[in-house]
Amino acid sequence: MITLYHGTDHILKEPSIELGKETNDYGRGFYCTRLPEMAKEWACKENTDGFSNAYMLDEEGLKTLNLLDGKHTVLNWIALLLQHRIFTIQDEIARDARDYLIEHFAVDTRPYDVIVGYRADDSYFSYAQSFVSNALPLRSLNKALQLGKLGEQTVLKSQRAFECITFTGAEPVSREIYYPKFIARDSSARQTYQNEIRKSRNYREDIFVMDILREEIGNDDPRIQRIVLE
């Protein structure tokens, strides 16, 4: 049994897969966090008061895809985002990169009940979009996503998973406290990126999306594994 939290502007006693949007990070589902403070920030992200809804999930018998288990890479995550989120595709490179990454790096999520992975908030999503546009190398993208585990989320993807979750209560959340925290977290991620990543770039040993396209790099290429495991 694990405890999950979902931040929103109302009390949600009976989550349903039908309430999810197909354009969310991993498609239609119920997006939660294991961290109560993160749920409180999400509850106030529109600068309104909200609620942190708490649930117990019985994981026994559920099949989980953990994108952060070391067996998957940031490119698997990006490929799933490209399948579901709306990206700004400004040129042929980005368009070809989208198609190639989906074809060669996307994970079939249909057999899974639960997905664990990064949450593409504003800062993380901008990094992903820059990578697809060939403006950001793989090493910098990978480091940006590791700036803090508070960007992780747990998503219920199947009807079976929804049958295993139980509402346990809701806590009111004040926008005066948690909206500034929500803004500060995104600003902090961007500032850390500026300070710690941009100054340490080494393009000679890095991979851009154009390199992946030109050399037809695949999911198990040792160059990708070397960078993401640094």
Query: Which tens digit of pLDDT belongs to each residue from 99-128?
Result: 999 999 999 999 999 999 888 776 677 778
pLDDT band at 196 (very low <50, low <70, confident <90, very high): low
Q: In this predicted structure, what is the pLDDT of residue 129?
A: 81
Length, in residues, of the chain:
230
Q: At CA 208, angle to CA 215 and CA 119, rounded to 5?
A: 120
Say whether pLDDT at 43 is over 70: yes
pLDDT band at 202 (very low <50, low <70, confident <90, very high): low
Please compute the mean of the pLDDT values over residues 16-31 and round it to a whole number. Answer: 84
Q: How far apart are CA 52 and CA 81, in angstroms?
A: 26
Q: In this predicted structure, what is the pLDDT of residue 167?
A: 97
Q: How far apart are CA 42 and CA 9, in angstroms?
A: 9
Please compute the mean of the pLDDT values over residues 134-143 and round it to a whole number. Answer: 83
Q: How far apart are CA 155 and CA 162, in angstroms?
A: 10
Q: How far apart are CA 184 and CA 214, in angstroms?
A: 39
pLDDT band at 92 (very low <50, low <70, confident <90, very high): confident
Please compute the mean of the pLDDT values over residues 41-56 and round it to a whole number. Answer: 94
Structure tokens at 57: 């999930």
The single residue listed with the structure tokens 């926008």 is 175
Alpha helix stretches (DSSP H) within 65-146: 74-84, 92-105, 122-132, 138-145
Structure tokens at 53: 């809804």
Q: In this predicted structure, what is the pLDDT of residue 230?
A: 67
Q: In this predicted structure, what is the pLDDT of residue 63?
A: 96
Q: In this predicted structure, what is the pLDDT of residue 123?
A: 67
Q: What is the mean pLDDT of the chain?
A: 85
Please compute the mean of the pLDDT values over residues 152-181 and round it to a whole number. Answer: 93
| CA separation, residue 104 to residues 97, 108, 125 (Å) | 10, 11, 20
DSSP annotation of 19:
G
**% of the chain with per-residue pLDDT over 90:** 42
Q: In this predicted structure, what is the pLDDT of residue 201?
A: 61
Helix (H, G, I), strand (E, B) or coil at 116: strand
